[in-house]
Amino acid sequence: AQSVTQPDIHITVSEGASLELRCNYSYGATPYLFWYVQSPGQGLQLLLKYFSGDTLVQGIKGFEAEFKRSQSSFNLRKPSVHWSDAAEYFCAGGGSSNTGKLIFGQGTTLQVKP
Amino acid sequence: GAGVSQTPSNKVTEKGKYVELRCDPISGHTALYWYRQSLGQGPEFLIYFQGTGAADDSGLPNDRFFAVRPEGSVSTLKIQRTERGDSAVYLCASSLIGLGAGGNTEAFFGQGTRLTVV
């Protein structure tokens, strides 16, 4: 079955430290993958997306993610975290079957220490 | 407006009542999606419209849930005989073309409707 897993429910990092949020997917074919961020009371904002081509994708707010087929992963990274990055982060994926359905991970809550 | 608009932003209803949730997608977007997000969880797919038709309704939990998009723009999610377990944030999203249609596109989400069944 298709699935997206975020192994870390909660992560705390110090401001200025690097960040990596993990995402693993299970799809038969090449998936399309997204990372969204959700602040309290806000809607989901797209950080970046992968459809095909270059496996390292750049997004907004200094985020990047790397698609690794061999590891079925699409981890989100940022070299230096800012206090404003504290939020809930969701990885989501879909297949090529044109259902339009996105499967979301459970989310990772990021806390940033001053 | 420029983004996906959902109304109302909050809805409190009594158990057993009927509710309608509205979604105005971004103008020109052919694809529209409904998701449900429970507290502490990721959004869960409900239904996907391509134009006026439901291309995938496999996420609707039971026959109390129904959605329409009669003119290929605004969509309404309808819930009959509401139950306390239906309490959640209902999210709507739209994209220029369907996400699985082979193009590089993205889904834009609305702020959601928080439904509380008491």
- Residue A98 pLDDT > 60: no
Residue B25 touches chain A, beta carbons under 8 Å: no
How do A10-14 and A108-113 pair as beta strands? parallel
Q: Chain B closest CA to A105's CA: distance in Å?
A: 6
- Residue B65 pLDDT > 80: yes
User: CA of A104: which chain B residue's CA is closest?
Assistant: B42
Q: Nearest 5°: phi and psi at B6?
A: -125, 135
Query: Looking at the partner chain, which of B4, B42, B110 has a beta carbon nearest the beta carbon of A106?
Result: B42
Distance (Å, rounded) from C-alpha B93 to C-alpha B59? 15
- Residue B72 pLDDT > 90: yes
Q: Chain B closest CA to A28's CA: distance in Å?
A: 14
Q: Nearest 5°: phi and psi at A70?
A: -65, -25
Distance (Å, rounded) from C-alpha B21 to C-alpha B6? 8
* Contact across the interface for B42 and A90, Cβ inside 8 Å: yes
At residue A31, the pLDDT reads: 83
At residue B47, the pLDDT reads: 96
By CB atoms closer than 10 A (0-12, 13-18, 19+), residue A114 is: exposed
**Assigned token pair, A84:** 């404003």
Average pLDDT over residues B55-76: 96
* Contact across the interface for B44 and A104, Cβ inside 8 Å: yes
**Assigned token pair, B42:** 């990721």
* Contact across the interface for B109 and A44, Cβ inside 8 Å: yes
Are A22 and A15 in contact, with CB atoms under 8 Å apart? no
Q: Nearest 5°: phi and psi at A85?
A: -80, -10
Residue A92 touches chain B, beta carbons under 8 Å: yes
Which amino acid does the sequence have at B27?
S
Query: For residue B28, how far is the Cα from the chain centroid?
Result: 17
Residue A41: band (very low, low, confident or very high) from pLDDT cuts 50, 70, 90: confident
DSSP helix/strand/coil, A8: coil
Provide the CB-side half-sphere exposure for A1 (13 A, CA). Answer: 4
Query: Looking at the partner chain, which of A36, A100, A107 has a beta carbon nearest the beta carbon of B99?
Result: A100
Mutate to test the interface with B, among A33, A102, A106 (most CBs of B within 10 A): A102
Beta bridge partners of residue B28, listed in sequence order:
none
At residue A72, the pLDDT reads: 92
Question: What share of chain B has pLDDT > 90, as a percent?
Answer: 85
Residue-wise pLDDT tens digits, B89-108: 999 999 988 887 666 788 99
User: CA of B50: which chain A residue's CA is closest?
Assistant: A100
Instruction: Tell me what the pLDDT averaged over chain B comes to.
Output: 94
Are B42 and A107 in contact, with CB atoms under 8 Å apart? yes
- Residue A96 pLDDT > 70: no
DSSP helix/strand/coil, B6: strand
- Residue B8 pLDDT > 80: yes
Distance (Å, rounded) from C-alpha B26 to C-alpha A17? 37
Name the more confident of A28 and B70.
B70
Residue B14 touches chain A, beta carbons under 8 Å: no
- Residue A47 pLDDT > 70: yes
Distance (Å, rounded) from C-alpha A66 to C-alpha A71? 11
Which residues of B fall within a CB distance of 8 Å from A4? Answer: 42
At residue B68, the pLDDT reads: 97
At residue A49, the pLDDT reads: 92
